[in-house]
Amino acid sequence: MTNDVRLLTRRDVLYRLGAVGGAAAVYHGLTTFGLLPVPEARAAVPGYPSDIGKGRKVIVIGAGLAGVCAAYLLAGHGFETKVIEANSRAGGRSLTLRKGDSFAEVGGPVQTCAFTNSTLYLNAGPGRIPQHHYIVLDYCSELGVELQPYIFMGGSNLLQSDSFLGGRPVPMRQAQFSLRGEISELLSKVAQKGKLDEALGHIDRERFLQMLSSFGQLQRSPDGRYRYDPQDPSFLGFPWTGYAEEPGAGLDAGQKTQRIPLDKIVRSDIWSSDNQLLFNNLQYYWQSSLLQPSGGMDMIWKAFLKQGVPGGKTVGDLIILDSPVKSLRNTATGVEVIHGDGVADSADFCVSTMAPIQLARVGKGLSTSFVNALTHIPYDPATKVGWETKNRFWETKDRIYGGISFTDDIISQIWYPSEGFHQPTGVLTAAYNRGDDALAFGKLPIEKRFELALQGGEKIHPGDYRQNINMDTALAIAWQNMPHFIGGWANDTWETDPAAYKRLNQADPEGQIYLAGDFLSYWPGWQEGALGAAELAFKQIAERVTKG
């Protein structure tokens, strides 16, 4: 998932939605933009009889979130459904690790989770749900998945860069509100000199200055100037930048944090779109209002597996594990899939959730245009490191309760748990990187990744980090190294290669072969994209059956 995305107008997005998904996609776009009311309950697959698939068979390749959702919809509407999974477990990239769980990268050692109790977990794949990902949230409601808040960022979360303040970490609020105050003071100076009169037009200058004062916490001096200086003795309010030592009772006024001068911020790279440090919380999908399933992200796909389908079975009963696909081809009457040790299965339709390049490798007799499109969907590397701590030092010393601290070090981020506050211990996501950093990180031996994560953590929590990590519980995962995976997520293909994206999103993409997965959505790398694409594949097959 790239973060360097060109800003689109609503018209641009609706046009693209219409070109790819038709009227239904435009409808969802209109509701997202607030141009149509959102119904109280989303009807994902309206208008299809529960037995529409009777007498027809579908093979779903892959038991990740898209695959189990597609199986749930297909089997629930009468299709005889079989799910073929290459790995020894379901869930795909939605991997939650708990005490006793094991995994291994290709050619790497077996790693076994050694957390001290079964309530602790590491989301090695997806870890948060934005409040506007209504497909995920509606399925959680439908399937009974309990949700709890996921704290994305608080003012106490830390920002660290070697190019900023000599590498000293600072609370996010101190950096963000220092910048607001500095910019507000700068604009006020220009405005008071009349230099903005033409740009302001009919806007009242004095009202504009008052707004800047409120926005940047400026003070008005006796000579009429607006100044930003929260450490001025005459400033009586609480500084938005916070306190180095909190005020208390009596005459304990505390110690206010230092104002960070504008030149120090500008000279650093903390504002750069490449680093994604200072303005992370402004991202549309990284709002403070985020959610997570109680107990781990795998609760979602596990809830799908428990759902009953016709024939007295559950979705989980439909899955065949440890059976990688060797070949897939269209036939005169449907599809043929060879998997596992040479088992040949036939069906009327197939829904493939494999990464596109993997489908191109095993597909036989596929059209040139389809293969070309499949090979134009690159995936981004993504890695994580996680471990249990000896205590929750980030709470007791830094007063950090959940959220993420950011750094331009190779580890990129530290995630603090949004649950278990004041418990004896906790699990940190000690590194989460993407792109080139993840590619380089994933090539390193696991022990070297651990050491880099310790070094990066020491930059954010100097003197407190290394000594408080239980290294016996350390885990490292690089998704580009995992068996039957090629990376963390597809690139934003709808933008980088719209022709390939449109080709794969045709109503009947390739004979009786249909596709599902987050790569077919405007949300690559998010569960919202996987579930939306699964629904779309079901609708495409249902429409084809309806039309005969």
Question: What pLDDT, on a 0 to 100 scale, did the predictor assign at position 45?
Answer: 62
- Domain shared by 387 and 474, yes or no: yes
CB atoms within 10 A of CB 148: 11
CATH number, domain of 258, equals: 1.20.1440.240
Is 445 domain-assigned? Answer: yes
Is 164 domain-assigned? Answer: no
CATH number, domain of 477, equals: 3.90.660.10
Is 29 domain-assigned? Answer: no
- Domain shared by 237 and 188, yes or no: yes
Cα dihedral across residues 155, 158, 159, 164: positive or negative: positive
- Domain shared by 429 and 516, yes or no: no
CB atoms within 10 A of CB 264: 16
**Token couple for 340:** 């596992």
- Domain shared by 292 and 409, yes or no: yes
Per residue in 443-496, pLDDT (tens digit) is 999 999 999 999 999 999 999 999 999 999 999 999 999 999 999 999 888 899
Spatial strand order in the sheet of 427-434: 170-171, 158-160, 403-407, 413-416, 427-434, 382-388, 475-478
**Token couple for 86:** 């290459």
CB atoms within 10 A of CB 344: 11
**Token couple for 411:** 């580890």
Question: What pLDDT, on a 0 to 100 scale, did the predictor assign at position 8?
Answer: 43
Question: What pLDDT, on a 0 to 100 scale, did the predictor assign at position 35?
Answer: 45
Cα dihedral across residues 449, 454, 457, 458: positive or negative: negative
pLDDT at 1 over 50: no
- Domain shared by 231 and 337, yes or no: no
Q: Which of 70-74, 190-194, 352-356, 369-373 has the lowest mean pLDDT?
A: 190-194
SS3 of residue 14 by DSSP: helix
CA-based R_g, the chain, Å: 26
- Domain shared by 292 and 406, yes or no: yes
Contact criterion met (CB below 8 Å) for 243 and 254: yes
pLDDT at 401 over 70: yes
- Please give the distance of CA 198 from its chain centroid, rounded to a whole number: 43
Is 471 domain-assigned? Answer: yes
One-letter identity of residue 388: E
Q: How confident is the model at residue 501 (pLDDT cuts 50, 70, 90)?
A: very high
pLDDT at 309 over 80: yes
- Domain shared by 464 and 432, yes or no: yes
- Domain shared by 407 and 537, yes or no: no
**Token couple for 392:** 């929750």
Is 101 domain-assigned? Answer: yes
Number of domains in the chain: 3
What mean pLDDT comes out for the span 66-91?
Answer: 97
Q: In a 10 Å sphere around its CB, with 0-12 CB exposed, 13-18 middle and 19+ buried, how is residue 506 labelled?
A: middle
- Looking at 481, 504, 520, the residue that finishes a domain is 481
- Please give the distance of CA 186 from its chain centroid, rounded to a whole number: 36
pLDDT at 547 over 50: yes
CATH number, domain of 56, equals: 3.50.50.60
Identify which has the larger pLDDT, 32 or 397. Answer: 397
Instruction: Give the largest CA-CA distance in the chain.
Output: 87
pLDDT at 284 over 80: no
Question: What pLDDT, on a 0 to 100 scale, did the predictor assign at position 532?
Answer: 97
Is 83 domain-assigned? Answer: yes
Q: Which of 98-107, 257-266, 532-541 has the lowest mean pLDDT?
A: 257-266
Question: What pLDDT, on a 0 to 100 scale, did the predictor assign at position 195?
Answer: 87
Per residue in 221-268, pLDDT (tens digit) is 888 888 888 777 777 678 888 888 888 999 898 888 888 999 999 999
Give percent above pLDDT 90 in the chain: 74
What mean pLDDT comes out for the span 373-380?
Answer: 95
DSSP character string of 293-342? ETT-TTHHHHHHHT-EETTTEEGGGGEE-S--EEEEEE-SSSEEEEETTT
- Domain shared by 469 and 384, yes or no: yes
Is 248 domain-assigned? Answer: yes
Question: What pLDDT, on a 0 to 100 scale, did the predictor assign at position 31?
Answer: 43
Contact criterion met (CB below 8 Å) for 405 and 157: yes
- Domain shared by 218 and 362, yes or no: no
- Domain shared by 247 and 120, yes or no: no
- Domain shared by 292 and 304, yes or no: no
What mean pLDDT comes out for the span 282-288?
Answer: 71
Question: What pLDDT, on a 0 to 100 scale, did the predictor assign at position 46?
Answer: 60
| Size (the chain), residues | 548
Per residue in 315-372, pLDDT (tens digit) is 999 999 999 999 999 999 999 999 999 999 999 999 999 999 999 999 999 999 999 9
- Looking at 454, 481, 508, the residue that finishes a domain is 481
Per residue in 402-421, pLDDT (tens digit) is 999 999 999 999 999 999 99
- The average confidence (pLDDT) of the chain is 89
Per residue in 338-352, pLDDT (tens digit) is 999 999 999 999 999
Is 412 domain-assigned? Answer: yes
Angle between helices 205-216 and 172-192 (to 10 degrees): 160
Domain enclosing residue 348, as ranges: 41-91+298-378+493-547
Pairing of strands 335-339, 325-330: antiparallel
- According to DSSP, residue 447 is labeled H
pLDDT at 20 over 70: no
Quickly tell me which residue has 């390193």 as its tokens.
444
Identify which has the larger pLDDT, 463 or 10. Answer: 463
Give percent above pLDDT 70 in the chain: 90
